[in-house]
Structure 1
């Protein structure tokens, strides 16, 4: 007699387009696409609008592919964290194999398309960024070291370089500075999040800095990374690679960022405030990156 599966058996529900969109981490993609677009607009080359749109679309697809492969690999720990438990795989709306196929296919297509639309160097850097996020950050670093965000932050720093290279075909000093800015911005941004999400990370066994080294050390590290980040943000002005619009915006935004990071680092009591300074820094850090990159794009377009 054939056995009947119990009613409580877990069977993934049919995924729809919204689940595949969720795999790409659209909120993250928005910032990635914006920095990539600003890198393209800051380049000293007028790019064909259709090819420029295609390049930015490829950056978005590459980032989406990396996000899908990240969720494929981390579905076990996503199920343990409140912030990620509703994602398609842990929520049971999609099986892991579908996410894997989607991520690989989307990533391969994005690299091929940007090569055909722009140049080989842009395609190579896009491929490296996807592989770095998936293999170096997700597979190798995230579950092994509290430095996961520090090293893994390089993956999110590639988009402005890709945008610049798509337009120019080469790498120069300004996109390297933009890469460095995002690289140094990533630890304060994510450690501020980790401070008020520490319990989630601890439950999932992810060795984020607050879990491993404690809150006090994390607060100091946030401040210490903020200082070189601000210096790099102002370097384009000092090196005459950007003008007054960028200088004023970057200077003001960096001042606010430093004040918030100082409040997080050196405050004496955390009782009863619901981690308000940490949440303020995390929220402003997103606005900071948008503002600085937008100012650069406007500055370069005005100067042109």
Structure 2
């Protein structure tokens, strides 16, 4: 039964469902993509940020509409507005779809390539990750990581109407960062994912093996983070080297002591890691 609520309260529920803590990182990726182009065109920049925010939020809402039954059995997600009955599955999918379409249309203000990448990110998250891979394979978050890559590509395309090696590398950095980040979360909430029947890697493997793959994933990501100095400069290399060393050290700590507490620390470190790298690109390119 869906409970009647005021429009203002309903908007608050949708804001929560849109996962703002993820959206701000996607917007930061789009800004870094724009900065990497060495151009700042105001209208296209507003277009990609507004369109990307709407489309990403819509994709998140659709995801939570689809996954109500799984969210009910997971402690971490059991208080979401969809689970509590404030937003129905049908309503979440409808509103999320409208947001995705609207965000894609706003991207056209910049150019069609920007709009394409905005739509691509949403469709990868909904169709490839949520519907196809997440319920079926531990590779779900690996391939689904391209949804985040699309945000960076959209930002670059908004400024240049092109897709180049530098923008490809930025997107690949986000793609390579994603597994270690979310496997850490899954290791922390291993029991939750197991109850929901979601075959995240840490659900299928012992803690020690899961921690090993997190460390390997982060190590494989490191070259993609470092190579961007060719397009940003030596200060970027210094900052990124320090941040990468800290991340890899934390990965080894988790490998030696693969507990839920250490997994949570790994998760809490990896998000700021990517944010600092993206901010460094933005700041250095502005300077």
Q: Aligned residue for 2:253?
A: 263
Q: Which runs of 5+ in 1 are unaligned?
A: 1-9
Alignment partners' CA distance in 2, 1:97 and 1:178 = 36
Whether 2:216 is the aligned partner of 1:212: answer no
How far does the alpha carbon of each residue in 1:49-72 deviate from its partner, in whole angstroms, 9 at most, with x for none?
Answer: 243122211111111011011011
Deviation of the 1:214 alpha carbon: 2.2
Q: Find the partner of 1:44 among 15, 38, 49.
A: 38
1:291 to 263, 276, 282: 276
Measure the CA separation in 2 of the matches of 1:78 and 1:57: 28
Name the SS for the 1:171 alignment partner. Answer: coil
Query: Structure 2 stretches of 5 or more lacking a match?
Result: none
**Which of 237, 248, 251 in structure 1 is aligned with 2:238?**
248
Aligned equivalents of 1:289 and 1:132: distance in 2? 21
User: 1:93-172, aligned counterparts within 5 Å?
Assistant: 93-115=86-108, 117-172=109-164
Relative to structure 1, the CA distance from residue 149 to residue 160 in structure 2 (aligned partners, 3 Å threshold; closer, same or farther) is same
TM-score w.r.t. the length of structure 1 is 0.90
- The reply on whether 1:191 has 2:183 as its aligned counterpart is yes
Q: Is the 8 A contact 1:58 1:111 kept in 2?
A: yes
User: Following the alignment from structure 2 to structure 1, what is the Cα–Cα distance between the partners of residues 62 and 2?
Assistant: 21
Separation of aligned partners in 2, 1:114 and 1:152: 22
CA distance in 2, matches of 1:52, 1:233: 24
User: Alpha-carbon deviation of 1:245?
Assistant: 2.0
Distance change in 2, residues 1:301/1:140 (3 Å): same
Q: What is the aligned length?
A: 284
Higher helix share: 2
Counterparts of 2:170 and 2:2 in 1: how far apart (Å)?
45
CA contact (8 A) 2:114 2:161 kept: yes
Does the 8 Å CA contact 1:13/1:92 hold for their aligned counterparts? no
Larger radius of gyration: 1
Alignment check: 8 A CA contact 1:227 1:258 kept: yes
TM-score normalised to the size of structure 2? Answer: 0.95
Are 2:206 and 1:221 equivalent residues in the alignment?
no
- Spell out, residue by residue over 1:4-48, the C-alpha distance to the aligned partner (whole angstroms, 9 max, x if none): xxxxxx44343611011122111111111111112112212231x
Paired residue secondary structure (1:241): helix
Alpha-carbon offset, residue 151 of structure 1: 1.0
- 2:72 counterpart of 1:79: yes
Question: In the alignment, is the contact (CA less than 8 A) between 2:61 and 2:96 conserved in 1?
Answer: yes
The answer to whether the 8 Å contact 1:245/1:298 transfers is no
State whether structure 2 residue 85 is matched by structure 1 residue 92: yes
Please report the RMSD computed on the Cα atoms of aligned residues, expressed in angstroms: 1.4
* SS of residue matched to 1:292: helix
SS at match of 2:136: coil
